[in-house]
Amino acid sequence: MANTIIEVENLSKLYKLGTIGTGSLRQDLQRWWNSSVLKKHDPFFDLQDDAPANDRQFLWALRDVNFGVDQGDALGIIGSNGSGKSTLLKIISRIVRPTQGYVRGRGKISSLLEVGTGFHQELTGRENIYISGYILGMSKPEIKSKFDEIVAFSGIEKFIDTPVKRYSSGMYVRLAFAVAAHLEPDILIVDEVLAVGDAEFQKKCLGKMREVSHGHGRTILFVSHSMQAVNNLCNKALWLDKGRLQEIGDVTAVVNKYISKVQKNMLKQEWDTPATAPGNDLIRFSKLELIPHLDHPGAPLDIRTPITVKFQFWNLAEDQELSVGLHLFSYGGECIFDVPSPSIQCQKGLVEGECLIPGNLLNDGSYYISLIIVKDTSLDLFYFEECLSFELEDFRGDIKWFGKWMGSVRPKLPFRIEQTLPELV
Amino acid sequence: MQENHWEISSKTSYWGWNLKELWSYRHLVASLIRREFLLNYQQTVLGPVWILIQPIMTLITYVVVFGKVVGIPTGSIPPLLFYFSGIVLWNLFNDSFSGTAFTFKENAHIFSKVYFPRLVMPISVVSTHFLRFLMQLFLLVLVMVYYWLFRDMPLPVTPLLLTLPAIIVVIGAIGLALGLFCSVVTAKYRDLVNFISLGVRLFMFITPVIYPMGAVPEKVRWLVEINPLTPLFELFRYALLGEGTVTVPGLLYSVSFAAISLLAATLVFNKQGDKLIDIV
């Protein structure tokens, strides 16, 4: 296919754990002596041919990964820690060799696996721009023609002839990224470099990368833990799980599937008989459920999602006046709110109710719910702690800022802003 | 867009490098050399003068210890010039070797983050030492001029002087070749680092640095003769100072040793280079 710029075929990478290379020179010689001179059976080579995936000595960092990237695509690579994302980038960057399989492609690749590769503390900013540029594969005229642009992008004009060891860490990162941002490869490989730098600079970097991919038809492979950034920058996503390709396709679909997989939600608890249910002589819980109101089933819960909390319990005593309190806690244990239900007169038997937590109220994060049953609006009957939990993913729409949003709640409040004077008089 | 197709697979090849690619990184080599000089002499009092002070101090030590105390005969060559020529040439070999013998170990960090032809690193190191050598050689020539002006030593202006560039290149090549071999080995077996620094020090004693070939007893002569550096050192002194034991087979041996070992070392370096990133 003419449009495919990278083709990955049956790519696998096996790492030996523990002492790499089987250990010392003595062991290697011994092995060589046994296998080559004495022609004895060598267990080490047996394993290399088809090492079992669960063998403790070996780890498949990647296993049979197949995919293609079209020219002009921005592919986000997502997955939990240790899922093989970085290994994949390193293989495509030609830093490490795969154990099996092929990567075929065309065009020039530049990889940005670290901010400031090739930087040296003792050298000035100017020297470092050149060395780092050369290491990343730029040519001399290329750097010369972009030098001023790089310096302007980094915003450290005043310090360009100062050794970088005297820079603040922010300045250092800005300069380093500025060099990388001006690379003009056909394929740009970026690994989680946005984790550094302040929010304003992150915005600048992402803007630059977007410009590179959308404006110039370059291909970008981008690893990030920020689903926001992936969503915003990429048009496709690839999900790796324990070295295997889980899903590849349209970015929103893949990211949503990934998030719903990793979200640790306790959405439902149920008990069949009062004997095993949590509670006491007066009341016992029978059913607890969180029902998120999602547009599509399977989509992750995000800050816009309204959630209904349903509960059901057995009232074991005659004629009690009961009410239920819903306590919502952040993962850190801070109480966000405590909402009581109205008090009603209950007879022996099942009691049920529900409470709606509206969308656009909470900030992103993990939450848990505790329920308390109160008699006569004053006496605590039973406090069921941490009985339900859920996670809310971030959603920002078109906001081009990717830092952590502050606050426990993030309500949509009526907000007005307008220009009153069209022009300064 | 360039239509250069590439493929990455598990196979590493001996010929997995091309001069064109290496050439496209020439500016990197140049700026690494520049960096090396800047780094060594920034925030120092004497700056680049250190390049000359080090051999001068060694020279003084040798003249005192081997010339005055031990009394090794240096033939008709003044001891000062004899030792100095040996030291300058030995430094070239020693620096080319020691500078490249730990290429993978020292550059593991950068090698694991970005791809460029790994040969760039040893080439820039050897080039740096080559420039340093030229400065030291210049000092040697100055001392010779002094002897010519004030001590009536004849200046050997003969066609043999034309062999000097060749000698220098061959010595640099042997240093680089052995260094490349060692860089592969030290990446895998760290404990060999100690052997290598000890080995290179012992190696100096079977090289005619502090003694002329003629002063070696018949019994241990073979030890000095199998050393490919020996004919080069002797020729260097012969061309520059007019005294030395030079044979054509000896020189042929040195040159072919240099050519074969450099070729083999480059091949091994390329073959192993890609795999070693997983290990270092």
**pLDDT tens digits for range B142-181:** 888 888 888 877 777 778 888 889 999 999 999 999 999 9
Q: What is the pLDDT of residues A358-402, one digit of tens each?
A: 999 999 888 889 999 999 888 888 898 888 888 888 888 777 777
Choice among A301-310, B2-11, B235-244 with the minimum mean pLDDT: B2-11
Q: What is the dihedral of CA A222, A227, A232, A235, to 10 degrees?
A: 60
pLDDT at A2: 52
Q: What is the pLDDT of residues B38-94, one digit of tens each?
A: 887 776 777 777 778 888 888 888 888 887 777 777 777 888 888 888 999 999 999
Asked if this assembly's ipTM is beyond 0.95, the reply is no
Q: Mean pLDDT, to the nearest integer, of A286-305? A: 86
pLDDT at B256: 94
Partner residue facing A123 (CB), from B12, B35, B188? B35
Q: Mean pLDDT, to the nearest integer, of B8-25? A: 74
Within-domain flag for B29: no
By the CB < 8 Å criterion, does A102 face chain B?
Answer: yes
Within-domain flag for B43: no
Q: Mean pLDDT, to the nearest integer, of A103-129? A: 86
Within-domain flag for B109: yes
What residue numbers bound the domain in which B135 lies?
Answer: 49-276
CA geometry: angle B155, B93, B102, nearest 5 deg: 160
Residue B97: closest CA among B173, B45, B18: B173
Q: Given phi > 0 = left and psi -120 to 50 = alpha, else beta, which region is A39? A: left
Check B192 against A25: CB less than 8 A apart. Answer: yes
Check A106 against B113: CB less than 8 A apart. Answer: no
Angle between helices B164-188 and B120-150 (to 10 degrees): 140
CB atoms within 10 A of CB A367: 19
Give B274's contacts in chain A (Cβ within 8 Å).
96-97
Chain B interface test: which of A20, A25, A134 (most B C-beta within 10 Å): A134
pLDDT at A51: 44
Domains of chain A: 4-10+70-261 (3.40.50.300), 268-392 (2.70.50.60)
pLDDT at B264: 92
CA geometry: angle A282, A285, A288, nearest 5 deg: 155
Give the number of domains in chain B.
1
By the CB < 8 Å criterion, does B279 face chain A?
Answer: yes
Sign of CA dihedral B32, B34, B37, B41: negative
Choice among A209-223, B1-15, B225-239 with the minimum mean pLDDT: B1-15
**Which residues, listed in sequence order, are joined to residue A250 by a DSSP beta bridge?**
A236
Which pLDDT band, with edges at 50, 70 and 90, does A328 fall under?
A: very high
Residue A355: closest CA among A285, A419, A308, A400: A308
What does the alpha-carbon distance between residue B233 and residue A171 come to, in Å, rounded to a whole number? 51
What does the alpha-carbon distance between residue B206 and residue B264 come to, in Å, rounded to a whole number? 24
CB atoms within 10 A of CB B54: 14
Q: Mean pLDDT, to the nearest integer, of A346-364? A: 91
Give B3's contacts in chain A (Cβ within 8 Å).
106-107
Within-domain flag for B24: no
Check B35 against A120: CB less than 8 A apart. Answer: yes
By the CB < 8 Å criterion, does B20 face chain A?
Answer: no
Check B24 against A139: CB less than 8 A apart. Answer: yes
Share of chain A above pLDDT 90, in %: 20
Chain B interface test: which of A96, A114, A218 (most B C-beta within 10 Å): A96
Q: How many residues does chain A have?
A: 425
pLDDT at A145: 92
pLDDT at A20: 47
Partner residue facing B3 (CB), from A106, A109, A127? A106
What does the alpha-carbon distance between residue A360 and residue A304 come to, in Å, rounded to a whole number? 5
Which pLDDT band, with edges at 50, 70 and 90, does A56 fall under?
A: low
Give B9's contacts in chain A (Cβ within 8 Å).
97-98, 101-103
Within-domain flag for B15: no
* Strand A236-241 to A74-78 pairing: parallel
Round the average pLDDT of chain A to a whole number and report it. 83
What does the alpha-carbon distance between residue B6 and residue A73 come to, in Å, rounded to a whole number? 19
Within-domain flag for B74: yes
Structure tokens at A306: 């309204």
pTM (predicted TM-score): 0.74
pLDDT at A25: 66
The answer to whether residues B105 and B42 touch, using CB atoms and an 8 Å cutoff, is no
CA count, 13 A, side-chain hemisphere, B95: 22
